[in-house]
Homo-oligomer: A and B are copies of this chain.
Amino acid sequence: MAPKALDYESLNENVKKVQYAVRGELYLRASELQKEGKKIIFTNVGNPHALGQKPLTFPRQVVALCQAPFLLDDPNVGLLFPADAIARAKHYLSLTTGGLGAYSDSRGLPGVRKEVAEFIGRRDGYPSDPELIFLTDGASKGVMQILNCVIRGEGDGVLVPVPQYPLYSATISLLGGSLVPYYLEETANWGLDVNDLRQSVVQARSRGITVILGTLILPKFIHSPLQDLHIVFHLKNITNSTLLWWALLVAELLTNLSCNVYCYQTEFLTLYYLQVRAMVIINPGNPTGQCLSVANLREILHFCYQENLVLLGDEVYQQNIYQDERPFISSRKVLMDMGLPFSKEIQLVSFHTVSKGYFGECGQRGGYFEMTNIPPKTVDEIYKIASISLSPNVPAQIFMGLMVNPLKPGDISYEQFVRERYIYFDYKGIIESLRRRAMMMTDGFNSCRNVVCNFTEGAMYSFPQIRLPPKAIEAAKQAGKVPDVFYCLKLLEATGISTVPGSGFGQKEGVFHLRTTILPAEEDMPEIMSSFKKFNDEFMEQYEDHWGYSRM
């Protein structure tokens, strides 16, 4: 009998192609060990509340009241809830039709989108239009919606930083597009060199053409190098049909195939030249933790202008900054500062979330995206697609409102809110604590044999390079594992520390990393780092060649 629609063999190939390391082999093994009773320190996902970050009281009070509006009529409500939480709950309920149990508009509640627009206006110094802001079930869902509009097929390329957060590689595979990597420079603290960007695009294009010829003429028919053909295809606004005509001529020139034979091969023919359509930046970086400078952002925007790329600005870590030299600046502000023609020409979509920053409310699944220079007809299309799943969850929309419209001095709960959120010199604040944890981790890693690590300027990850000795790489091969997976698995078994191998994010050939969050409780940090050091140094001892192997 033929395979059934949901048998593995007959699934959508794009689904099978997807790779998602953050919850991959390491995560599954860690879950097994946990079931077996081993104590596991999960540092694989940026999930602050799972690692002890406490929710802020005020937002939770407000949402609890919105969930239980009947409490607002209860004479005792004042015994459990402060007056400003009650007032704010009434405010948000008044923005809904039917409370949290009713679908909102598919773009989210207009009143909350207005609060988001005001937040963006204050942040950037340029007004923002609520009609160009869509609320989503977390930032990931927004990224997927936008990429779904951008990617039409294998011929559409998206520039993604490497190392990258696998949401991007996974979504691009799922949508059948092409990922075009650009490498962040580890030795320059994961900085971005625009010349490398240009290189990536050029390489991608020629790769695209090679794909065409590779499929147009089966490899066995072709021996001559393809370089000279590139010129033919490096013309702008080339259409598939003209491209096909050239391909045919070239095919006949190169190999004296009869048309019949050629016709037979048309089944394998995928007609495109790779067109890079969009660029992703993650600022602050995940997993690399760097913060982009204004100068760098300007270069990137210039590049997008020249190459006619839409820029996707993943700015979900904008509140997670652990140094003062490079505070967060939004790509939108930099774009507006650049003035005409850029500020009216460059298409930008930027993403934010309630999952990170002071809130860390991952489980609520709240996010938004804001569109700049996107034509109204396209906005309508995105609205239509959002309508298919009716509306983002409404409670998280309230959290978004609370995040972008925080309490003000004088409000009853302000003191407590600020104390919980972040007092610059109060060493109980979440951010100050994360800053110290980032330092402990960076120093800890750098004190280990064959480990070098950049400081985590932002986001919530540390991404140390592990310089594996040749013998370790050999042992990994023997075990049939990628070297960094081999190392991370041994780390997990020995210490219970669950990390993600660098290969899950992409890294340069022959270079190995791991990603860990900086989220474990501050008091546990020394123990975690010393058990890491113990494991690592013994590992290196075991695999290093004592007859002259030295650090690279």
CB within 8 A of A244: which of B77, B104, B264? B264
Q: Which chain B residue has the least Cβ–Cβ distance from A96?
A: B363
B102 touches A50 (CB 8 A): yes
Mark interface residues in A307-321 (1 if CB within 8 Å of B CB, else 0).
011100000000000
Among A13-21, A184-192, A541-549, the stretch in contact with B = A13-21
The one of B15, B236, B361 in contact with A2, judged by C-beta atoms closer than 8 angstroms, is B236
Selected contact of A388 from candidates B18, B52, B388, CB within 8 Å: B18
Q: Quick check: A377 and B57 within 8 Å, CB to CB?
A: no
Q: Which residue in chain B gives the minimum CB-CB distance to A396?
A: B393
A395 within 8 A of B: yes
Q: Which 8 A-B pairs have the closest CB atoms?
A: A259-B259, A49-B98, A363-B394, A49-B101, A64-B68, A5-B277, A50-B98, A365-B393
Any B CB within 8 A of the CB of A362: yes
Find chain B residues with CB under 8 A from A141 CB: 389
Evaluate contact between A375 and B5: CB separation under 8 angstroms: no
Residue A253 is within 8 A (CB to CB) of chain B in the complex: no
A100-B363 contact, Cβ under 8 Å, with A4-B310, A80-B76: yes
Q: Are A102 and B49 in touch, CB under 8 angstroms?
A: yes
Q: Kindly state the separation between the CA atoms of A359 and B102 in the bound complex, as whole angstroms.
A: 11
Q: Does B50 contact A381, Cβ atoms closer than 8 Å?
A: no
- Give the CA-CA distance A151 to B174 in the complex, in Å: 12
A65 CB contacts on chain B under 8 angstroms = 64
Q: How far is the CB of A73 from chain B (nearest CB, A)?
A: 11
Contact with B along A190-210 (1 / 0, CB 8 A): 000000000000000000000
The complex places the Cα of A152 from the Cα of B264 at a distance, in Å, of: 23
Set of chain B residues within 8 Å of A146, measured between Cβ atoms: 6
B4 touches A50 (CB 8 A): no
**Chain B nearest CB: distance from A339 CB in Å?**
19
Q: Answer whether residue A498 sits at the interface, using C-beta atoms and an 8 A cutoff.
A: no
17 A–B contacts from the bound complex (CB under 8 Å):
A6-B149, A6-B150, A12-B149, A18-B388, A47-B103, A48-B101, A48-B102, A52-B98, A60-B68, A98-B363, A103-B363, A140-B388, A144-B389, A170-B388, A174-B385, A363-B391, A393-B393
Interfacial chain B residues near A167, Cβ < 8 Å: 388
In angstroms, Cα B102 to Cα A1, docked, is 45
Shortest Cβ distance from residue A500 to the other chain B in the assembled complex, whole angstroms: 12
Q: Report yes or no: A377 in contact with B267, Cβ–Cβ below 8 A.
A: no
> Among the listed B18, B79, B309, which residue makes an inter-chain contact with A79, where contact means beta carbons less than 8 Å apart?
B79
A458 close to chain B: CB less than 8 A: no
Query: CB within 8 Å of B: which of A449-500?
Result: none
| CA gap between A11 and B7 in the complex, in Å | 32
A74 cross-chain contacts in B, Cβ below 8 A = 80
Residues on the B chain within 8 Å of A271, using CB: 267
Contact status A138-B389, CB under 8 Å: yes
A55 beta carbon closer than 8 Å to chain B: yes
Provide the A44-78 mask, 1 if CB < 8 A to any CB of B, else 0. 01011111110101001101110110110010110
Give the oligomeric copy count. Answer: 2
A7-B236 contact given A102-B362, A144-B389, CB 8 Å threshold: no
Check B45 against A390 for contact (C-beta < 8 Å): yes
At the interface, yes or no: A536 with Cβ under 8 Å from chain B? Answer: no
CA distance A152 to B53 in the complex (A): 42
If A15-B381, A55-B99, A60-B68 touch, whether A375 touches B137 (CB-CB below 8 Å) is no
**In the assembled complex, A263 has its CB within 8 A of some CB on chain B:** yes
Sample of 8 further A-B pairs with CB below 8 A, known A11-B378, A47-B102, A141-B389: A5-B310, A8-B375, A50-B98, A79-B79, A138-B389, A174-B385, A245-B264, A259-B259
Q: Are A6 and B374 in touch, CB under 8 angstroms? A: yes
**For the complex, what is the distance from the CA of A181 to the CA of B271, rounded to whole Å?**
32
State A5–B157 Cα separation when bound (angstroms). Answer: 11
| Cβ-based interface call for A227 (8 A) | no
Query: For residues 7 through 39 of chain A, which have their beta carbon under 8 Å from a beta carbon of chain B?
Result: 7-8, 10-13, 15-16, 18, 20, 22-23
| Cβ contact within 8 Å between B237 and A2 | yes
- From B241, B277, B362, B392, give the contact of A365 (CB < 8 A): B392
Bound form: Cα–Cα A427–B101 in Å:
23
Cβ–Cβ contact B63 & A67, under 8 A: yes
Q: Is A278 an interface residue (CB 8 A)?
A: yes
User: In the complex, what residue of chain B is closest to A169 when comparing beta carbons?
Assistant: B388
Is B11 a contact partner of A381 (Cβ separation < 8 A)? yes
Decide: B150 and A5 in contact? CB cutoff 8 A: yes
A256: Cβ under 8 A from any B Cβ? no
Closest to A45 in B: B103
